Amino acid sequence: MTGLDGRVALVTGAASGIGAATVERLRAEGARVLGTDIRASGEIFPHDVTDEAQWEAAVGECVARFGRLDLLVSNAGIAGAGPIVDLPLEAFRAQARVHVEGAFLGMRAAVAQMQRQETPARGSIVAVASVAGMKPILQTTAYGTAKAALINLVRAVAVEVGRRGDFIRVNAVAPGGTRTPMTEALFDDAYWADPANFAGVPLRDYCRPADIAGAITWLLSDAAAFVTATTLVVDGGWLLSNRI
Ligand code: NAI
Q: What is the domain-level CATH number for residue 60?
A: 3.40.50.720
C-alpha 77 – ligand 1 centre gap (Å): 3
Q: What is the number of other CB atoms lying within 10 angstroms of the CB of residue 190?
A: 8
**Across 23-52, average pLDDT:** 97
Ligand 1 interacting residues, C-beta cut-off 6 A:
12-13, 15-19, 37-39, 47-50, 75-78, 98, 102, 128, 130, 175, 177-178, 180-183
* CA gap 123, 75 in Å, rounded: 17
**Contact of 173 with 128, CB cutoff 8 Å:** yes
- Ligand 1 atom at shortest distance from the alpha carbon of 19: 26
The pLDDT of residue 164: 87
- For residue 212, give every residue at least 6 positions away whose Cβ sits within 8 Å of its Cβ, in sequence order, or none: 18, 21, 22, 128, 173, 175, 178, 234
The pLDDT of residue 2: 66
Q: Which of 45, 143, 198, 238 is catalytic?
A: 143
Query: What residues make up the domain containing 132?
Result: 8-240
pLDDT-based confidence at 40, cuts 50/70/90?
confident
Residue 42 buriedness (CB in 10 A; 0-12 / 13-18 / 19+): exposed
**Contact of 10 with 58, CB cutoff 8 Å:** yes
Looking at the structure of the chain, the number of domains it has is 1
In a domain, 2, yes or no: no
In a domain, 189, yes or no: yes
Q: Is 191 a catalytic residue?
A: no
Q: What is the number of other CB atoms lying within 10 angstroms of the CB of residue 185?
A: 8
- Ligand 1 atom at shortest distance from the alpha carbon of 179: 41
pLDDT-based confidence at 244, cuts 50/70/90?
low
In a domain, 197, yes or no: yes
The pLDDT of residue 241: 86
In a domain, 1, yes or no: no
pLDDT at 1 over 60: no
pLDDT-based confidence at 14, cuts 50/70/90?
very high
Indicate the top mutation candidate among 128, 173, 211, 238 to test ligand 1's pocket, ranked by most ligand atoms within 8 A of CB. 128
3-state helix, strand, coil in the chain (%, to 5): 50, 15, 35
- Element of type H or E holding 212: helix 209-220
**Contact of 168 with 62, CB cutoff 8 Å:** no
What are the tens digits of pLDDT across the range 60-114?
A: 999 999 999 999 999 999 999 999 999 999 999 999 999 999 999 999 999 999 9
* CA gap 99, 156 in Å, rounded: 15
C-alpha 40 – ligand 1 centre gap (Å): 14
pLDDT at 29 over 70: yes
- DSSP 3-state assignment of 85? helix
**Across 114-120, average pLDDT:** 97
The pLDDT of residue 22: 98
In a domain, 3, yes or no: no
**Average pLDDT for the chain:** 96
In a domain, 116, yes or no: yes
For the chain, count helices (H), then strands (E): 8, 7
